Structure 1
């Protein structure tokens, strides 16, 4: 029978530096190669039984891998602020000073740039770009839609606000990315409640439709009827994103019953799924245009 791998109690359920574990006599280099431990980055390991989240990987990078003056940045910084995270295997964004010699590192996405003193904060012992700097980097590093998705989440958590971000961008006029941040902020909305809602809204606006209201409440004689993801109240047209609600399959049916109460009234409610957004956005866009055109009381033609 093969020998069970060593699992010192001090390392169970933890992420740790391999070299430190070896120097303290807890493990040998051969032990680190066993199935008991999972390599995350160079010299960083985790208990193989531990579910390692993207946030945990970001924290490990911030504690042990980045050079002095650097910080966790971009989507990784947003994850540490509690925003929706990329996949667990996604590389961790790191912002390092221009003169830093750190090169490509497995598991990291290294960005070189100027870092002002006010651009970095500390969270749980990890250096992270502040919310405004995080938004600026997102606007520079991601496409417009995906940048707005994360900025929406930061706004929703009240970590920053639109006026602060505009001032931050204007104070850096002439630097690369300041116009990109202004454009992203103009499209951002703190009312978005999921990344897919953000993607749907921004893509519709970029396609030329008027900007919808987020989380619009419909009432009947003062009584709550429904809250809509995206709505054009003047036209009584709404869009609902159909996805997973906190792993509660019954929520889908409750929401559909709620929305059905609108169908007997004056509202048109259009539904969209992630698959439709990926594979047939043009078809969905045509349906929204047709609904708005049918309800238009002005010469405007969407």
Structure 2
């Protein structure tokens, strides 16, 4: 969606009147259609164009280009480009990037998934850092050993102590920020789930459902139920039937909603611990 006004004028795609009346200027010479709702990807592309296509998209903008979801569209774009020039809406980094820290996506230079995780995992806020690395893992291209390799070669870098913790806590199976928060809540309480995205089958090998996290060895599952699980009658009926099927197979399921997570963390911990203890778990 973003484009360089000078290029569009030269190509005859728009005239100056159309450019000025039907488009908004985000940065110097970078335009979008008037009233456009910009995604993190749009902002990343706009920042790269502003740099004259010389900058390297980094941070959350790089994560967006790699396919990460749940990025706040209100946050500014991030670009790695040593420069004295500043502009509103772009955070400029001046980190040294090795050649293998950078890849190309549709012609745009961007930090690799591993380098992007290396950068995001060192930013202040342990839970937020894990959420962002989990999202990159869910996008599919990131492998944690690659981040560990970068960490080993940058031992003196700022934030590496937190990054080690982030790599230990990250998980390939988190499908939303709330699932990550729930998994971390249990982990910090001494009950780290042994598995995520657990597929459950009945005695006839028929698929029953998939649990967000839990302990298959004790048949205890923990499920985060988003808004649709409470507001959609069809989904709610399906959840009830599924819960009966789980119980018939000997599973104990702890269901957690947004209010419970936000206001009653101790209840979540207590219910999970009670389910594990009732199943003979060592907690």
Q: Could you say what secondary structure the match of 1:176 adopts?
A: coil
**What residue in structure 1 maps to residue 43 of structure 2?**
57
Specify which of 44, 48, 55 is matched with residue 30 of structure 2. Answer: 44
Higher-helix-fraction structure: 2
Please tell me the root mean square deviation across aligned C-alpha atoms, in Å: 2.9
2:68 aligned to 72, 77, 83, which one? 83
Where does residue 273 of structure 2 map in the other structure? 289
> Could you list the runs of 5+ residues in structure 1 that have no partner in the other structure?
1-13
- Alpha-carbon offset, residue 158 of structure 1: 3.4
Q: 1:201 to 1:62 in 2, by over 3 A?
A: same
How far did 1:28 drift? Answer: 4.4
Corresponding residue of 1:156: 138
- 1:211 is paired with a residue whose SS is coil
Native 8 Å contact 1:78 1:134 kept in 2: yes
Unaligned runs of 5+ in 2: none
Runs of 4+ in 1 over 4 A off after TM superposition: 18-25
Normalised to the residue count of structure 1, the TM-score between the two structures is 0.80
Post-superposition shift, 1:54? 1.8
Aligned pair count reads 278
In the other structure, the counterpart of 1:27 is: 16
1:98-117 alignment, distance < 5 Å: 100-103=83-86, 105-117=87-99
Structure 1 residue 137: Cα displacement: 0.5
Q: Distance in 2 between matches of 1:234 and 1:266?
A: 12
Q: Deviations over 1:144-188 (max 9, x none)?
A: 222222222322343131222222211222222333222211111
Q: Distance in 2 between matches of 1:136 and 1:127?
A: 17
* Secondary structure class of the residue paired with 1:137: helix
Q: TM-score, normalised by structure 2?
A: 0.84
- Give the Cα–Cα distance (whole angstroms) in 2 for the partners of residues 64 and 184 of structure 1: 33
1:251 shift after superposition: 4.1
